[in-house]
Structure 1
Amino acid sequence: MKSQLKAFLFIALVGGIVLLSGCDKDPEPENIPEEITKVILTFSATGAAPIEVEANDPDLDGPQPIVVGLIALDANTTYTLSVEFFNGFYEPTKPEYSITDEVEAEGAEHQLFFSWSAGVFSNPDGVGNIETSGTVNYNDEDENNLPIGLSTIWTTASATTGKTLRVMLKHQPGIKSATSTSSDGDSDLDLTFPIRINE
């Protein structure tokens, strides 16, 4: 009887240790995408008023359509583009409403990628870095000296219409590197704006 009791106590003790050691492990971090219902693109050029363009998706996966504004820029002009993100499920007075600072603070996990129709920009040349290896003039960096994309620099080409600019925000925790691309990680945002270059 004593040997059976000892065996039972030994099994219970080992089981308890295994259980406790399992509790010590931290859970795997969840890769939760940002809930972005509004995006503001602000194009700023020296000596001109800033040009703001919005995209709104008030219910994300719901039935309401995404409303995307037209980007209208002047030809042969250099612009600094700033991108802001908002979560409309919160009141504008709440700190959670603007998530631009969060994306910047978590810059090592995020990167904006861009693609555009040929002939829209003279600098950078090409058609972007979404599904291609083109360049983008990034104007900001994360803690690892890798681009984020909340600020970029663009020079328009000559007048043109019927073109597009695609903006993609990727969430890349543990993935982002000097060689990661728009195919890596999850998309927090993927929008295509119509763009016109005026004379």
Structure 2
Amino acid sequence: MARGSETRTKILDVAQAAILTKGFDATSIDEIVAAAEITKSGFFYHFRDKNALAHALIERHIEIEDKLFDALFDRARELGDDPLQTMLIGLKLLAELLDMPGGHPGCIVATAAYQDRLFDRKVRDANARAVLGWRRRFRSMLEAIAQVYPMQDDVDLNHLADMVSAVIEGGLIMSRALGESSITSQQVLLMRSYLKILFSPGIQ
């Protein structure tokens, strides 16, 4: 990795850790510069301002999370016999992944959404693209399930796909508020149970 790329990655790592702890608004460029052990001009070489930094953090988050979900559900497909089993196995693997000692550090997309007044349209659009990407991913999986298993309730598949994100983000908030690291994974497992019931034949 080139030196410039290493510095950029270090800035992003330092900024993300601080932002997930206390938010974008309370994290200053001076603080990031000091923690990354660079000059202020070094920061501005890579990012013109905090909008550019936020945009880079969100884009990196999308890339990392896409790879994570790809790997997780590819593994689930290796273990599952049909779309429903694949989804259920994938959610079980996700719950295990989210059950971190000390708690999950949080989500940069959610953090940016809470403070979107700080950002320009480019950042808000990137954040929306992240959320819509999750919707598309899970909707495609749910569509495959619905082709094999009729739903036991009249549920919009977009809303059902959004529930995955809502459960994870809500679990992270509750986990931090209550200091209980297992809450997020527990919520994912409850959602898994709901999907099992929703697509189980013969249940009214």
What TM-score does the superposition give when structure 1 sets the normalisation length?
0.27
Rg comparison, structure with higher value: 1
Structure showing the higher helix proportion among its residues: 2
